[in-house]
Amino acid sequence: MASPFLTPGSHSQLNQLALLHLRRDQAIPTVLQLHDEDNAGYKEGKVTTTRFGSFPHTTLTGQPWGSQIIASKVDTGSRRGRGPQKKNRQLKRKADELTHDSAASTPAAEGTDSHSHSASPQAAVAAASGFLHLVYPTPELWTMSLPHRTQVVYTPDYSYILHRLRARPGSSIIEAGAGSGSFTHAAVRAVFNGYPTTPTSTNASADAAAAPPPPPPPSPSSPSTSSSSHRKRLGQVSSFEFHEQRVGKVRQELKEHGLEGLVHVTHRDVYQDGFLVGDAQTGTSPKANAVFLDLPAPWLALKHLVRHPASGAESPLDPTSPVYLCTFSPCLEQVQRTVSVLRQLSWLDISMVEVNNHRIDVKREKVGLEYEKVRGAVVFPKSVDEAVSKMRHVEENSRKYRELQQQLEDEDHNNNNSTTAATTTPVPASSGAAAAAAGPAKEEHAAPPSSNIPLYKQGRLVHRTEDNLKTHTSYLVFAVLPREWTAEDERKCRDKWPPHRVDQPMQTDKPKGRKQLKREQLQREEAEEQLQQKQQEEEVVGEKPADASEEA
């Protein structure tokens, strides 16, 4: 089976994993099926319910990847089987449904209700609101959405690790501590260069190993590479995990994801029993080019990762290539012990790094007096000029107000002084004038000067580190073990490449390119042709003078 991780094709297919993308860090993985294995009792067959509505798998299957899918009206309340869900989930679903129904218009609703429960899934009816995007799984999206069993190796770490481990198509990787499987998926993608030629046999063995909940002691067949075509080596991942339940889960997942032929999961305590696939003593070697150890005590496993294990068993390493190693440990003490043992075991180029990754928020920061009633904006002078001009207005207004007050007082005074109380009319007029004077100034502020700029372009574009910051994941120790080089190898090499033979004592100018060589060849050919022509001509000409001389 082709894996949607590696060769997704153009459309979603039945029985393949698909991701329902809800928001940036949230995607729901689901295997597309018409019928629900849990028999949750939906009339539409298998349905995945999300916070954005219900999605019968009939609406998800056969769609182009990346499609936006509209939610369907699904009767979640009166189901037959009720499924295995927990109580609170049901309550939540009911609540969802209530809000749903209130939001949904009901022109097409009758259609669903009239049908009785039938064996074939019913056609889904589009809901009035709610959607999501259907995307194919990638190791990155899977890492984001996978069920956590242990600490997960996240994208910033595994991307760097696989790059440094030189995990390339055709490589063989050992991974110890399968954990939640995030690294496993990324590693498969890195080494993938084709599916095994005999998928049936490997599938069968993987099935046999994966089927029962407590998997039997590992007995997978020999790695597919050994039997595959001679000319090309297929990439593979050999995964080891000592937690039995996790082994079962990982196997189940890999099977669902169509990766079972590419990953060999072994239930094993690698400190004790090493890294051979199959039997710990007599199993086949994965011939690894790269090793990733996500173990609490990686130094205890290193004794197995040598060219000639003390136990006399076959080495799990590729004898013809250098082996790259990475260990993943959160504590410095672990690193020190690991590095010390690496030095004793002749690993080279030992280095230790940590990866600091952070995501960056980009937003528009709106500061200014014009942003009144705008959500997320700060109403505050955006510049000294604005602050001063605002202050000026305030001052102006209060001055006017004081003047008015003064005027009123004066007038009162005058009125009191003068005996005639006839001229009371100017008072409201002048106060009105003052109000009018203050009014436009205020409006000037209230009306945003940038109102013709759309809201999404207003403010200043700023960026900052996201709120949730992972400041430390683990320390990464890298090392290389060169391939073995014996005196015998050296002797053979000396025979083939005479050690003191130097043809050109000094390096000549640039080696000639193919074009240059070709050009020279052509020139030579043309020169020859010309030469031949000349010779022919000369022959012709030569004969004449010869005759002439004879005549002479």
Map the footprint of other proteins across residues 15-54, applying CB under 8 A.
21, 23-24, 51-53
Q: For other proteins, which stretch binds (CB under 8 A), given 215-223, 278-286, 334-342, 405-413?
A: 334-342
Instruction: Report the b/e string of 391-416 with b at 16+ CB within 10 A.
Output: eeeeeeeeebeeebeeeeeeeeeeee
> Residue 147 and residue 106: Cα distance in Å, rounded?
37
> Residue 1 and residue 147: Cα distance in Å, rounded?
23
Using CB under 8 A as the binding rule, whether residue 291 contacts other proteins is answered as: no
> Residue 97 and residue 113: Cα distance in Å, rounded?
15
> Residue 205 and residue 238: Cα distance in Å, rounded?
15
Q: For other proteins, which stretch binds (CB under 8 A), given 81-89, 175-183, 238-246, 353-361?
A: 353-361
| Cα diameter, the chain | 160
Binding residue for other proteins, selected from 230, 385, 422, 548, defined by CB under 8 A? 230
Indicate the residue among 33 and 159 with the shorter CB distance to other proteins: 159
> Residue 114 and residue 118: Cα distance in Å, rounded?
12
Helix 426-446 vs helix 384-417: angle between axes, to the nearest 10 degrees?
Answer: 170
Indicate the residue among 440 and 513 with the shorter CB distance to other proteins: 513
Smallest separation, CB 177 to other proteins (Å): 20
Indicate the residue among 103 and 391 with the shorter CB distance to other proteins: 103
Using CB under 8 A as the binding rule, whether residue 510 contacts other proteins is answered as: no
Binding residue for other proteins, selected from 15, 227, 356, 532, defined by CB under 8 A? 356
Indicate the residue among 95 and 394 with the shorter CB distance to other proteins: 95
Restricting to residues 381-420, name those near other proteins by CB under 8 A: none
Identify whether the C-beta of residue 190 lies closer than 8 Å to the C-beta of residue 139.
no
Using CB under 8 A as the binding rule, whether residue 189 contacts other proteins is answered as: yes
Smallest separation, CB 41 to other proteins (Å): 23
Binding residue for other proteins, selected from 336, 397, 431, 450, defined by CB under 8 A? 336
Smallest separation, CB 62 to other proteins (Å): 13
Smallest separation, CB 504 to other proteins (Å): 6
Smallest separation, CB 182 to other proteins (Å): 12
Both structure tokens of 178: 């399968």
| Run of H or E residues at 402 | helix 384-417
Q: How far is CA 252 from CA 174, 213, 358, 397, in A?
A: 19, 10, 33, 76
Using CB under 8 A as the binding rule, whether residue 194 contacts other proteins is answered as: yes
Binding residue for other proteins, selected from 106, 200, 282, 320, defined by CB under 8 A? 320
Identify whether the C-beta of residue 154 lies closer than 8 Å to the C-beta of residue 473.
yes
Using CB under 8 A as the binding rule, whether residue 109 contacts other proteins is answered as: no
Smallest separation, CB 393 to other proteins (Å): 27
The angle formed by the CA atoms of residues 243, 222 and 272, to the nearest 5 degrees, is 35
Interface size with other proteins, residues (CB under 8 A): 133
Using CB under 8 A as the binding rule, whether residue 483 contacts other proteins is answered as: yes
Binding residue for other proteins, selected from 377, 404, 473, 474, defined by CB under 8 A? 377
Identify whether the C-beta of residue 267 lies closer than 8 Å to the C-beta of residue 244.
yes
Indicate the residue among 85 and 357 with the shorter CB distance to other proteins: 357
CB atoms within 10 A of CB 130: 21
Helix 155-164 vs helix 182-191: angle between axes, to the nearest 10 degrees?
Answer: 40
Identify whether the C-beta of residue 173 lies closer than 8 Å to the C-beta of residue 191.
yes
Instruction: Report strand pairing: 263-267 vs 236-241.
Output: parallel
> Residue 462 and residue 469: Cα distance in Å, rounded?
18
> Residue 15 and residue 258: Cα distance in Å, rounded?
10
Indicate the residue among 472 and 544 with the shorter CB distance to other proteins: 472
Indicate the residue among 95 and 546 with the shorter CB distance to other proteins: 95
Restricting to residues 142-181, name those near other proteins by CB under 8 A: 155-156, 158-160, 162-164, 166, 168-171
Using CB under 8 A as the binding rule, whether residue 344 contacts other proteins is answered as: yes
Quote the radius of gyration of the chain (alpha carbons, Å). Answer: 40
Chain-centre distance for alpha carbon 173: 20
Indicate the residue among 263 and 280 with the shorter CB distance to other proteins: 263
Binding residue for other proteins, selected from 70, 208, 300, 441, defined by CB under 8 A? 70
Smallest separation, CB 543 to other proteins (Å): 28
Binding residue for other proteins, selected from 29, 139, 215, 283, defined by CB under 8 A? 139
| One-character DSSP codes across 220-270 | --S-HHHHS-SS-PPPEEEEEES-HHHHHHHHHHHHHTT-TTTEEEEE--H
Binding residue for other proteins, selected from 149, 303, 364, 400, defined by CB under 8 A? 364
Both structure tokens of 45: 């067959």
Q: How far is CA 176 from CA 20, 462, 475, in A?
A: 30, 42, 16
Using CB under 8 A as the binding rule, whether residue 227 contacts other proteins is answered as: no
Binding residue for other proteins, selected from 525, 537, 543, 547, defined by CB under 8 A? 525
Binding residue for other proteins, selected from 500, 509, 539, 549, defined by CB under 8 A? 500
Using CB under 8 A as the binding rule, whether residue 499 contacts other proteins is answered as: yes
